[in-house]
Structure 1
């Protein structure tokens, strides 16, 4: 389950022009540039793409939508973007908040209704978050395909990456990180992309406070504002380690790109598992 961080914005809402300008001026170094760098490095957006930006109503998806609008204005290469949201059973006030924020921010959102919250609450009450995430993603994939899109963009950021990496090590006994793009399971001709993996959550929070936009904190009606205890533990651990090692979060992130294949006990892929002995023998043959 992702953390539902409660953020109460106290600053007055800025005019739309000021909000949009701040992304490419005030927050260019910390937000817009890392966004563009990820798109370039991992080839997330290519000429001719039609991208569905998924909007949950939270801070991450709102800023992702505005970043794509800013990128589109640069007009460096042709691509289309649409803004897609799924109402899984929001309370009326949360649905209204989503619609009002998108209207104010100039985001032409398409909202598809579903009853996922109700279904998940009945069939997976013990562990609803995993089931909900899978059902929501499948719904979004299908909706994006129906809109003619070949990519679905999600608002996962830098902190999501390092927390997921640590949770994988601590609780699942494997090294598995959150990657910039993946091919959709069970759906053809569509990829999932994560253009904000270089953007830190603290900078997103700074921008949302600066803009004066009160984003949705937690729209879930099943577990409400609860946070995964495991994810909370990892957040607190990283915060603690950062006090003595300010680079700890960046080092965790970089580990995903610096795996030494000659210093591991084995790995697994779609082709199956490879044991250390097999890897060792293969290296000896190459000498």
Structure 2
């Protein structure tokens, strides 16, 4: 846990993710990533040079999951817990009947999370995206969209006047898995019909397979995302 805390603190400092007086809402799904983020931020706030508040918001998309273990954990960590009911599953699968539901589902969940966080007076929303997520997003953008793009560690949403932060961008997924198992986090099983059957899962499997032949692949790709001095792309306007 100490190693992960060190990486989280480095990301907070590098990208100025948390400022004095912030009220930060963690989007807690109950998966290993968001649970790890909850534990790390709840510990970080005890020694952070920038004092901040912390709350948790969980969106219930009505898939039948039991979120009571999350509320129990938040009570133990002394973090206020808010469970928000929604009809996201009905919209995505019953009304829209989406064949590729992840994008719409994510957009709907973000909308509910952003709205509730703003209503609760939050200045920041913390999401559990990690190093692998950033790399997979980069590769998906290149392979499926023909552009070099990934999410940012810090994004200001002008329409909501709230900032999204991703404090775990330096943390590898394998470290998160190991930590979640070691501390027996109360992981909520994802009953989503599309779970494990997505393009992102394909990209995740691909990066793990590639790293067997190319040691350090993930570190190199993450470094490329931050290497603005050596971004050499074909700019036709310069020819």
Residue among 111, 115, 121 paired with 2:87: 115
Q: Contact conserved, 1:51 with 1:80, CA < 8 A, in 2?
A: yes
Deviates more, 1:155-164 or 1:67-76: 67-76
Cα distance in 1 for partners of 2:78, 2:51 equals 21
| Alignment match, 2:236 | 277
| Alignment match, 2:18 | 45
- How many Å apart are 1:95 and its aligned residue? 2.7
Cα distance in 2 for partners of 1:84, 1:201 equals 22
| Alignment match, 1:232 | 201
| Alignment match, 2:226 | 257
- How many Å apart are 1:213 and its aligned residue? 2.5
Q: Contact conserved, 2:11 with 2:169, CA < 8 A, in 1?
A: yes
1:14-67 Cα offsets, whole Å, 9 max, x none, are xxxxxxxxx2xxxx22x1111110000000001121111111111111111111
Cα distance in 1 for partners of 2:15, 2:126 equals 13
Cα distance in 2 for partners of 1:233, 1:88 equals 24
Q: Contact conserved, 2:24 with 2:122, CA < 8 A, in 1?
A: yes
| Alignment match, 1:58 | 31
Taking a change above 3 Å as real, the CA distance of residues 118 and 37 of structure 1, as seen in their structure-2 partners, is: same
Cα distance in 1 for partners of 2:122, 2:6 equals 25
Are residues 1:243 and 2:202 paired? no
Please, what is the CA RMSD of the aligned residues? 2.0
| Alignment match, 1:5 | none
Taking a change above 3 Å as real, the CA distance of residues 42 and 124 of structure 1, as seen in their structure-2 partners, is: farther
Cα distance in 2 for partners of 1:177, 1:60 equals 18
SS at match of 2:29: coil
| Alignment match, 2:123 | 150
- How many Å apart are 1:114 and its aligned residue? 1.2
Q: Contact conserved, 2:55 with 2:79, CA < 8 A, in 1?
A: no
Residue among 122, 133, 139 paired with 1:160: 133
SS at match of 1:263: coil
Q: Contact conserved, 1:124 with 1:131, CA < 8 A, in 2?
A: no
Taking a change above 3 Å as real, the CA distance of residues 61 and 49 of structure 1, as seen in their structure-2 partners, is: same
Are residues 1:196 and 2:168 paired? yes
Q: Which has the larger radius of gyration?
A: 1
Structure 2 residue ranges without an equivalent (≥5): none
Structure 1 residue ranges without an equivalent (≥5): 1-22, 266-275, 281-287
| Alignment match, 1:83 | 56
| Alignment match, 1:213 | 185
Cα distance in 2 for partners of 1:123, 1:64 equals 32
Cα distance in 2 for partners of 1:79, 1:213 equals 24
Q: TM-score, normalised by structure 1?
A: 0.77
* Aligned positions, number: 238
1:116-170 Cα offsets, whole Å, 9 max, x none, are 1111221242222111101110111110000001111100011101111111111
SS at match of 2:212: helix
